[in-house]
A and B are shown apart, each in its own frame.
Chain A
């Protein structure tokens, strides 16, 4: 079983749509969670951190359910520029700073 599991997609949605990505993690000791965005042939960039019960940043909302070991990312009013691969990330137990990256969910927003 993968330590961080995501549906690879692709998710094809029209502009203006709301889309949600889900992610599960296997290590119950994980304390910190993040969503990264990776454009084609580019480095991953931090989109948002997910702490405690989740947080919101503009059109993006991240939710964390520790009991179910489940993280979600909701994107409202999708833009063409949101097209990318979204990586779900969980921290490794301990304080080495190691993170476990999911393989990513690809989003394609179409006009």
Chain B
């Protein structure tokens, strides 16, 4: 069966520090991968998605970047964190088959990021 791992679960970082959050998926090949942010009491905001290695699409202009160095690895990064980067970051995957109706997404446990 497929599993998704995301870490760390919580992170407290000072303003201006770098960030690296990692997500890996097991049990599937060529998945679509996604990074979301959820601010407190708000909905999910799609940040990045990837349909293959090295292929990253950004949804909103921001202080963050994403990379997909391997098929089942997705990394969210920042060179300098801002206070507004605080939130609940979620990685998700879906089946990467093309030509079919969209598949549901499955989420990791999330990383709760606090910027001080």
Contact = CB atoms under 8 A, between A and B. Distances in A.
Interface stretch (A57-65, A76-84, A90-98): A90-98
B102 A97 contact: yes
Contacts, number: 61
Interface residues of A, number: 23
Interface residue tally on B, bucketed by range: 20 to 34
A44 interface: yes
Given A43-B90, A101-B44, A103-B43, A96 B51 contact: yes
A104 B43 contact: yes
B77 to A, nearest CB: 21
A45 interface: yes
B7 interface: no
Contacts of A96: 32, 49, 51, 57
A31 interface: yes
A32 B102 contact: yes
Interface stretch (B14-22, B64-72, B107-115): B107-115
Contacts of A31: 101-102
- Chain B CB within 10 A, most for which of A45, A46, A96, A97: A97
A76 B69 CA distance: 46
Contacts of A87: 43-44
A43 B109 contact: yes
B101 A32 contact: yes
B32 A45 contact: no
Interface in A31-83: 31-32, 34, 41-46, 49
Contacts of B100: 95
Contact of B96 (A32, A97, A99, A104): A97
B44 A32 contact: no
- Chain B CB within 10 A, most for which of A34, A91, A96: A96
Given A42-B109, A103-B43, 8 more contacts: A32-B103, A41-B88, A44-B90, A95-B102, A96-B51, A98-B34, A99-B105, A104-B43
Interface of B: 32, 34, 42-44, 46, 49, 51, 57, 88, 90, 94-96, 98-110, 112
